[in-house]
Chains A and B, each alone.
Chain A
């Protein structure tokens, strides 16, 4: 197996997820690294944000990550061979007021990575835009929509449910443009 230093971000995430799973912690990858994976490197995150499906004892989390070579540093975990840090957040996996809709399993040579779907990834990024005014996250949502299929009608439904219809209107055109670029590229390639 590759060393941690040589792993891609997906491989590293799967490696960590595998160690957590070995300790009975079923965790889902959320946050900016999902953008890195779905948008195939168009955005680079160095945080692996895992959310366990149910409560996990901090000692079990620390033991699982220690097996992967990560050491606690405050509330995050660091590895001596790479700059990527791991944060294991409090459950449940959610986007705004709703549970995440779909978990995908991506297989890597290092293990199986459970990750939120591209549609939930777009919602997750938009939540930071809606609630914290983080425009970079709105751009990341567009990167995902430009790279992989996203259910934009579901994103709109969720945005309205969150009471964020006005802000959704501000990004709707960019999301549709991104989706259009993806479709045209798909037609050209296919």
Chain B
């Protein structure tokens, strides 16, 4: 939906993912979104340099979230929310209904 604006399908996927899930790391995001790790990593780094998102290390994993100091964050989120309403139902459900609550270690999925 926003690829013409953002210039990249992977950038849109990354932003939509963070909009729905609040946070994510490159490998998980690439797997969920049907992208490659390197392409997702490249977009996440680009968005981080631009100040749109920020990353922090948790163990050896770089976890990304929206940068609350990004001056256009509210407007960007409104745009992403609108774009999401145009996503095919199946894709939207996958993004919105993915499990977020914690799961005890060792418990089967």
Contact = CB atoms under 8 A, between A and B. Distances in A.
Interface stretch (B27-35, B67-75, B88-96): B67-75
Given A97-B73, A97-B74, A131 B68 contact: yes
Contacts of A128: 69
B49 A90 contact: yes
A131 B73 CA distance: 13
Interface residues of B, number: 8
Nearest to A97: B71
A99 B71 contact: yes
Q: Is the interface of B mostly helix, strand, loop or mixed?
A: loop
A102 B69 CA distance: 18
Interface residues of A, number: 14
B69 A127 contact: yes
Interface string B49-83: 11100000000000000001101011000000000
B69 A131 contact: yes
Given A75-B49, A89-B51, A90-B50, A98 B71 contact: yes
Nearest to A93: B71
7 contacts: A89-B51, A90-B49, A90-B51, A94-B69, A94-B71, A96-B71, A131-B68
Contacts of A95: 69
Nearest to A91: B51
A128 B68 CA distance: 9
